[in-house]
Structure 1
């Protein structure tokens, strides 16, 4: 939570999960990148479905970088099969262009480990959308983060929320971050609903990927978190005008402040000692921003 705000650099806005005509999206890669650039994003990652039916695409967007906009390379990886008998959906950002298709017998946790070993930032994609089970999350030991919000899953099925799944893994001791994504396919109004703000000194693929690995980011649907810092036994949060600023932790532990146009809140850490907490900022329209967790077990 804290190092995302104390790290050097500035925040860059980007989408880490989206599709193009290389798999099942309606826009070609150039159109995807143009759409995000024109919407004021600093970067995106086109993560087409890494499936045999599409020829295992790892969509190369390097030629689309420039004019203050950059891209990361990645894919949505698939392999058999979750505890519910369906294929895995695993987000991998920062893959090498020659990342190999799944080998015979390679399962979801295996391909996720291989992606992480290749340098990728690995996230558990839309867990609520396909009812991913806690044992599946435990098996994905290579994951760096969970999609706390997936916009397409919200638009299509009202299953965009990954917070309950994330909190279960955190309470089991997993050290995971929280990302928000579009998972845009460009067939409905499924873009510009969730993003990450990544703190880095440069808007370059290497700097952004290093910041993701370091946890120097937060997730948002709209609110901006300007700063989170610890002052003794309290957390101080500054943000754009909000209706609620809160810390949530294991079971029902929480600290919160509600009001109108809140731009600062000081919240006690008493309820979270020995465990973890994460910050949530909610604006007057109900849009949220989520920090990564702070661990208080030392």
Structure 2
């Protein structure tokens, strides 16, 4: 089995799908945010400002920032209701229509009469969005919270802003538990940049499609035709009955993770084609791959749910 990112026709496009501007709590105007990402070699950006009444529920119109080399996908970070820890939900929605119906979310204080987080996520999916569980470690998300968000396509596996600001960037624990319960999920790495600290250009998705257009990029995200990275490149990931073959830029570790504590790793200098045995992973219902380069930067494949 070859993962969809490496069989889908087209080429890889680099994008960030979680970022903020001064339309909400970011520092820079939308035009400057887009300019900086384009200048840094990104092919696309989803500006996802906070969809709350405090800022008049913005779905920022970034269409004027598109050109022949750079495109944008409309989106927002949605909020409503309370998680188990009493704090409001944070739900990433990329590909929202501009007329998406507003929840009753005047600010970041949960209210008893609000729509639930799972309901809002489902509405976003029904409206055509790619929906992700945002920064689960930062949010204090519980497994019960994550289970309830049944409409989500993805988990934020790495959030660079949460790494810089509070050293809580991770989504692996929640993601792995959901995978072991049979959830079909993809992984995204993002910036969640606000530009008030060095919270930008640290995590991105590499999306495979024939054109760098919003509709094709969104379809590829939903189909799982991408991988996530802090720097390393993945060129090929193939799963057989006995091993995983990974072709990549030069890395020093290739790790295959599975259910519970199951994992296998190969380490070495400047590895570009690596075969990892699945010994000890034979009964895992899912697998995923992480590579790590000499600078400690990682890239993540999307998970594979295996036949029982």
Give the alignment's TM-score, normalised by structure 1. Answer: 0.98
Q: Distance in 1 between matches of 2:70 and 2:152?
A: 27
Q: Once the 2 structures are TM-superposed, how far is the Cα of residue 252 of structure 1 from its aligned partner?
A: 1.0
Paired position in structure 2 for 1:81: 82
Q: Distance in 2 between matches of 1:218 and 1:60?
A: 27
Q: Once the 2 structures are TM-superposed, how far is the Cα of residue 274 of structure 1 from its aligned partner?
A: 4.8
Does 2:141 align with 1:132?
Answer: yes
Q: 2:293 aligns with which of 283, 287, 296?
A: 283
Does 2:158 align with 1:149?
Answer: yes
Alignment of 1:67-216 (within 5 A): 67-103=68-104, 105-216=114-225
Residues 100-134 of structure 1, C-alpha deviations (whole Å, 9 max, x = no match): 11156311111100000000000000000021000
Paired position in structure 2 for 1:32: 33
Q: 1:257 aligns with which of 248, 253, 266?
A: 266
Q: Distance in 2 between matches of 1:291 and 1:203?
A: 21
Q: Distance in 1 between matches of 2:44 and 2:68?
A: 11
Q: Check conservation: 1:272, 1:296, Cα contact below 8 A.
A: no
Q: Check conservation: 2:258, 2:284, Cα contact below 8 A.
A: no
Q: Check conservation: 1:273, 1:297, Cα contact below 8 A.
A: no
Residues 245-295 of structure 1, C-alpha deviations (whole Å, 9 max, x = no match): 010011111121001111111122341435101000000111100011111
Residues 119-177 of structure 1, C-alpha deviations (whole Å, 9 max, x = no match): 00000000000210000000100100000000000000000011111111111221111
Q: Distance in 2 between matches of 1:232 and 1:168?
A: 23
Q: Distance in 2 between matches of 1:29 and 1:41?
A: 15
Does 2:241 align with 1:235?
Answer: no
Q: Distance in 2 between matches of 1:89 and 1:69?
A: 27
Q: Which runs of 5+ in 2 are unaligned?
A: 105-112
Give the alignment's TM-score, normalised by structure 2. Answer: 0.94
Q: Once the 2 structures are TM-superposed, how far is the Cα of residue 231 of structure 1 from its aligned partner?
A: 4.2
Q: Distance in 1 between matches of 2:299 and 2:277?
A: 19
Segments ≥4 residues shifted beyond 4 Å: none
SS at match of 1:129: helix
CA RMSD of aligned residues (A): 1.1
Q: Distance in 2 between matches of 1:6 and 1:143?
A: 24
Q: Check conservation: 1:275, 1:295, Cα contact below 8 A.
A: yes
Q: Distance in 2 between matches of 1:221 and 1:200?
A: 20
Residues 188-235 of structure 1, C-alpha deviations (whole Å, 9 max, x = no match): 111000000001010000000000010001110010001112345322
